[in-house]
Amino acid sequence: MHARFNRAAALQAAAAVAVAIEHHDAAGALSGLLRIDAAPGAFERMQEALDALRAASAGDVSDYLRVVDAGEASRISGIALAHPAWFYPRGGWVDPGALAQSFLARAGSRATLRTGRTVDALRRSGDRWDLIDAAGALLETADAVVLAGAGDALRLVGSPDWPVEAVRGQLSWLALDAWPGAQPQVPVAGSGYVLPPVDGRLIFGATTTVGDSDARVRASDHASNLRRLAVLTGVEPTRVDGIGGRTAWRSSAEDRLPLVGALPALDLLGRGKAPEAGPPPRGHRLDQPRFVPREPGLFICSALGSRGITWSALAAQVLAATITGGPLPLEADLIDAIDPARFVSRAVRRARAG
């Protein structure tokens, strides 16, 4: 399920990033991405997995995925790598803010960006939603609202008891003159990642800690990122006195898939999680996400984890189709897999099994 969704999302992301780079001057490149596998015997296992993928796909998949040995990985990356890698020819990197600006530019007059506003509450008013600030003033009213505020998205609907958590991450960067020898020409990932030069610096990372609310950029996390960098590339910077970085939080679901779709009817279901016992609401089945009742006009796009860029374009298409009743761009089982109502259905199935 994860592989199918990620592949579909990656292809859509590549198309969106290409538009951002070619038409909206976004910094980035689509010249490929390497994912290193340093485990013993990795090359043979990777070849077997690729052969199985070819058989399942009944065709050539080399335009999406290849297995390369250490020598080929080194040639592609421009730096000496000691291990084989998965090579994604359509992979790459992009400035996240520039990609967001590209999405807005493509929307044109159909979208208006407002910043410096905080929505403190939602209020149902007839068949519309009112967006209220902390002083009780009306900011906006709308037929449909999408909660897309990452870890803050669920706050506006009472923080339902779903397995979604905030994961702290810190990335690091160094000036190019601190890097000995050639710099990577494509993103290299595995135990951490490193990007090609961006604005005169190399960006690498990143840490992952759950239940950590510290917003400081920490020296200990820089040290952790430097260790990952050394394992990944075999390179140690000549100096680290000018190291910098930033900290942010990823919103991630326990099953490592996003929340994309119409919000379950929270009040009807007891704040969005079906009770462990007792009958479902009258006239409703709850054992499959597609049958769970919904809040009218209320949608969510959250829990993108560390794949926000990769998942964003496809998630937007799913949302647009869900809101307008248009054709969905994914198979029904994948729609169910990312549906926020899946947590309701799982609770129901567990109750029945118990």
Q: In this model, does residue 122 exceed pLDDT 80?
A: yes
Give the residue from 194, 218, 253 where a domain finishes: 253
* pLDDT level of residue 351 (50, 70, 90 thresholds): confident
Q: Looking at the structure, tell me whether residues 151 and 260 fall in a common domain.
A: yes
Nearest to 339 by CA among 276, 307, 305, 292: 292
Confidence at residue 195, expressed as pLDDT on a 0 to 100 scale: 97
Q: Looking at the structure, tell me whether residues 227 and 94 fall in a common domain.
A: no
CA angle 266, 269, 274 (to 5 degrees): 125
Give the residue from 253, 286, 306 where a domain finishes: 253
Confidence at residue 58, expressed as pLDDT on a 0 to 100 scale: 73
* pLDDT level of residue 59 (50, 70, 90 thresholds): confident
Identify the DSSP state of 280: P
Q: Is residue 310 in a domain?
A: yes
Q: Looking at the structure, tell me whether residues 180 and 153 fall in a common domain.
A: no
Confidence at residue 284, expressed as pLDDT on a 0 to 100 scale: 63
Q: Looking at the structure, tell me whether residues 202 and 57 fall in a common domain.
A: no
Boundaries of domain holding 238: 165-253
Q: Looking at the structure, tell me whether residues 270 and 349 fall in a common domain.
A: yes
Q: Is residue 242 in a domain?
A: yes
Mean pLDDT confidence for 179-200 = 94
Alpha helices in the chain (DSSP H): 2-24, 42-57, 70-77, 96-107, 219-233, 266-269, 308-324, 332-338, 342-353
Q: In this model, does residue 275 exceed pLDDT 60?
A: no
> In this predicted model, which residue has the larger pLDDT, 354 or 164?
164
Mean pLDDT confidence for 107-135 = 94
Q: Looking at the structure, tell me whether residues 152 and 28 fall in a common domain.
A: no
Q: Is residue 300 in a domain?
A: yes
Mean pLDDT of the chain: 92
Confidence at residue 282, expressed as pLDDT on a 0 to 100 scale: 56
Q: 194 to each of 126, 212, 228, 237, 326, how far by Cα in Å?
A: 51, 24, 9, 13, 39
Q: Which of 76-80, 159-163, 226-230 has the lowest mean pLDDT?
A: 159-163
Q: Looking at the structure, tell me whether residues 151 and 261 fall in a common domain.
A: yes
Q: Is residue 237 in a domain?
A: yes
Give the residue from 185, 220, 253 where a domain finishes: 253
Q: Looking at the structure, tell me whether residues 231 and 249 fall in a common domain.
A: yes
Confidence at residue 141, expressed as pLDDT on a 0 to 100 scale: 96
Domain count, the chain: 3
CATH of the domain at 200: 3.30.9.10
Confidence at residue 274, expressed as pLDDT on a 0 to 100 scale: 45
Q: Is residue 108 in a domain?
A: no
